[in-house]
Chains A and B, each alone.
Chain A
Amino acid sequence: MSGPKGGKTETEQVNRVSPFQEVTGMRNMMRADDISQTGPIRNYGPTVAAFNDMQKSGFQNTADAASAFGLQAPTDAMAGMPEAQDFGGGMMGHSAAPIVDQSLAALEEQAPGQVAAMNARFIDPKTGAAPTNPAFQTLTPGIVQKILDDYEKFRIA
């Protein structure tokens, strides 16, 4: 096998993104930037199903039986239990949202700086105002072009 003098031929295989993927990736990246600014979305719906009447009757009967035989038992077997919410359609349940609200309020009271820094990255959940501290600078056409130019410098033909 003959070749140029002073060296030998090396073969290297590299993975390269197709131009279509490159463009699509850039678009998705811009979309991801928008999505990330949306912020966490809360769940105010039911979380856990509530006890039904049969269960509550069973609880009460158990307490009454214990009381009848002289054991200590609460008069109201459901005393101390959170009141179930009616979510419609016969769905009686409990929502975790009030507890989450309390936890976040406690967090804001205990660590207001952290909460402020966290919320600054996202839009105002009520007004929809833009975040005061977005993760990325807003992509304008000039910026996109600059990125593409920089990208061309790193491309391997």
Chain B
Amino acid sequence: MGRPMGQVQPITGPNVNTTSANAYNAAVDKTQQGMNFNPMMMSGMSPMMSGSTGTMTGQTNTMAGAPTLAGNDLSAYQNPYQQQVFDTSMNALNQANQKSLNNVGAATPTSAFGSDRHQLVEAETNRQFGDAAAAMGAKLGMQGYNSMQDAARFDINNSNANSQFDINNARSDLSFDINNARGDRQQDIAGMRGDAQFDIGNDMAGNAAQMGAASQMGGLSQQGFNYGQTLNNNMSGVGNQQQNLIQQIMNAANGQYGDVTNYSQNQLSLPLQALGLAPANSSQTATQTKTPGLFDYLSMGATGLSGSTDPLGTNSFFR
């Protein structure tokens, strides 16, 4: 009894075939993804600088509606102590007038009803008091008014200065804003240009990647086709070997079947072989002399008429 042939162990788990097939399928999938590659564009997602930049224009006062001295209400500038000053001055002037009147009475002798001169001097003194009082009141009023004007002018000047400051500020702010806007716009333009260049570069890179992927896909397709052809040929080879083995068995069976069924016919040659007459023959040659007579010629003629060339059986089985 010989060594029994082992059974083929079934293949379990990953093997070189599945690994190769998986790698090939993965390559095909990735290549297909590469063929559909769409690069991300910057233009659609890049924020513009202009919208994000604040300006100072809205925060700057302007010259419109600036106050003037004529149109200004000066009551706010009136000296609240003007009346007191006026009253005090008038009192002092009145006291001086009273003293003068007293002096007039002392220097001018009068009767129980006074004298005319005395009355004239008092009247003159009162008149002078009245003139002085009027002059002082006018002077105080003029001073107060001038002070009010000066105060108002001061405010107006201040206002004008502020307005100028505001104008300057506004001008600076406007210039700042313009510069900002200009800078922002330049940044925007530069950004847009950069984005466009980036997008173009991305687009070109994407096209190149797609072209490369398409080319690789062609190679993978050819490779996969070759895989399939090779595997199919190998399987056909296996099938041919297996079919050939069965065919060999059938051919042998047919041969043996023919041996059985044709055995009887094949045995017909056995007697010939047994006698040594067929296929090879070892014999000796004998020479015999014969003098034919009349009968021989007659026999020859009869043979010719009958068509037989071996009337005596010289080619018979035993000869």
Contacts and interface: CB of A to CB of B under 8 A. Distances in A.
A61 B10 CA distance: 10
Interface string B266-297: 01001101111100011111111111111000
Contacts of A40: 259-260, 263
Nearest to B286: A16
Interface residues of B, number: 67
Given A11-B287, A15-B285, A56-B8, A64 B257 contact: no
A128 B65 CA distance: 151
Contacts of B261: 107, 118
A103 interface: yes
A88 interface: yes
A8 B227 CA distance: 93
A145 interface: no
Interface in B57-99: none
Taking each of B261, B264, B286, B313, which has the highest tally of chain A beta carbons within 10 Å of its own beta carbon? B264
Interface residues of A, number: 83
Contact of B256 (A43, A80, A84, A94): A43
Given A25-B276, A63-B235, A7 B1 contact: no
B256 A96 contact: yes
A110 interface: no
B211 to A, nearest CB: 27
Say what secondary structure dominates the interface of chain A: mixed
A71 interface: yes
Contacts of B267: 32, 35-36, 135
A78 B227 CA distance: 22
15 contacts: A6-B294, A15-B281, A16-B283, A25-B275, A28-B273, A36-B270, A42-B260, A50-B5, A67-B17, A77-B238, A80-B242, A82-B249, A96-B252, A97-B256, A107-B261
Given A12-B288, A15-B281, A68-B17, 5 more contacts: A24-B276, A32-B273, A56-B8, A81-B245, A90-B3
Interface of B: 1-6, 8, 11, 15, 17-18, 20-21, 24, 224, 227-228, 231-232, 234-235, 237-238, 241-242, 245-246, 248-250, 252-253, 255-257, 259-261, 263-264, 267, 270-271, 273-277, 281-294, 313-314, 316, 318-319
